[in-house]
Amino acid sequence: MSELRNRMITRCSLVVRLVDVWTRKTPGAQEVSVSLEGDVKRPIRKDDGSYLFLDVETDYAFLEVLSTHYLPVRQELTLSSLNRISPVVTVPLLPSRFYPQASGSTGLRSRVLDPAGRPAAEALITAYATDEAAARGRLSQELAEPGDTWLKAGSWQGASTAGEAFLLRSREAEELVQLAELAPGGMIRLEKPLRNAHRRGALLLPAVSTRSGSDGAIILPFRGTLPSKFRVAVRAALGKASGAAEWTAIAGEVAAMPDITISN
């Protein structure tokens, strides 16, 4: 009876789904370590690669994901804000310089240097395709307004996944967005509300939001159906220092680019 009672009061506090933003695949159990800071209980890994945390006693927690192949993740969570029936958090994983990229992958490699020419770690990197031909999708609703988190999009070029980033560009404005959820009927939910208004036909251009490693190295992964060549705008920032570049990506290659030197 005691064992049955213990099973009855066990609750699922959190489900963590990891996704490789380059391949849309779930990393293997040996590739990652997933934990909640301060929670001594190990999560349960399900067959689909998700991690279940049971009976978490605190409402606020830091989720940590460590891996050789991916940049480390440390994300603050408020468990009471999650869906009680399905408390799922999707965590996009970005490649580190040790990532074993597959043949035919599209991306760019570079390094960020500080004003003295030394590798700059933890620089924030944003990059996006600038060519309309590289658009992965388009806004298909008449108008998306500031504050909206649900959008309808179509004309997709290749499948997308939660955690993927895009530059939403229209005649009126442009802004970086990240997908939190894909739903039937072409509906997508954004991680954060829109800041600007956008009309039908606004482009969803492939984008990357990442950071440099301890040696200053950066990898910019692009996926989906892409043109043979496309231009990519890149910006690096660390504190008050920043730098920018514009490079050409080649579909099916991970090309090495010149260093980016940031300055005040």
DSSP string, 84-126: SS--EEEEEE-B-TT--PPTT-EEEEEEEE-TTS-B-TT-EEE
Final residue before a domain boundary, out of 70, 93, 116: 93
What pLDDT was estimated at residue 9? Answer: 58
For the segment 140-159, the average pLDDT, to the nearest whole number, is 92
Q: Which helix (H) or strand (E) holds 169?
A: strand 165-169
Q: Which residue has the higher pLDDT, 103 or 167?
A: 167
Euclidean distance between CA atoms 35 and 14, whole angstroms = 11
43 CB neighbour count, 10 Å cutoff: 18
Indicate whether 132 and 251 sit together in one domain: yes
| 136 shares a domain with 89 | no
Residue 262 has pLDDT above 80, yes or no: yes
pLDDT bucket at 211, cuts 50 / 70 / 90: very high
Q: How many domains does the chain have?
A: 2
Lookup: tokens for 80: 């009471």
Enclosing domain of residue 235? 101-264
Which of 184, 143, 182 has the alpha carbon at shortest distance from 166?
182
CA angle 159, 92, 165 (to 5 degrees): 55
Same domain? 174 vs 129: yes
Least confident of 9-18, 69-78, 187-196: 9-18
Question: Are 126 and 86 part of one and the same domain?
Answer: no
Do 179 and 55 fall into the same domain? no
For the stretch 101-117, pLDDT in tens is 888 999 999 999 999 99
pTM > 0.95: yes or no: no
SS3 of 191-211: the string is CCCCCCCEECCCEEEEEEEEE
Q: What pLDDT is stored for residue 41 in this prediction?
A: 83
Beta-bridge partners for 151 = 188
Is 47 found in the same domain as 114?
Answer: no
Q: Give mean pLDDT, residues 77-95.
A: 91
Residues 39, 123 within the same domain = no
Round the average pLDDT of the chain to a whole number and report it.
92
Q: Which two tokens stand for residue 47?
A: 């067959």
Per-residue confidence band for 161, with pLDDT thresholds at 50, 70 and 90: confident
Average pLDDT (128-154) is: 95
Q: What is the pLDDT of residue 108?
A: 97
In this structure, are 25 and 142 located in the same domain? no
Confidence of residue 6 (pLDDT cuts 50, 70, 90): very low
Q: Of 59, 93, 127, which residue constitutes the final position of a domain?
A: 93
Are 123 and 165 in the same domain? yes
Q: Are residues 46 and 131 in the same domain?
A: no
3 state DSSP class of 96: coil
| Residue scoring higher pLDDT (174 or 8) | 174
DSSP state of 70: B
Where is the domain boundary, 93, 112, 140?
A: 93
Mean pLDDT for the stretch of residues 162-169: 93
> By C-alpha distance, which of 93, 95, 94, 65 is closest to 77?
65
Query: Which CATH number is 198's domain given?
Result: 2.60.40.1120
Kindly state the DSSP code that residue 227 receives in the 8-state scheme: -
Let me know whether 184 and 71 are in one domain: no
pLDDT for the residue 5 = 47
Assess whether 237 and 201 both reside in one domain. Answer: yes
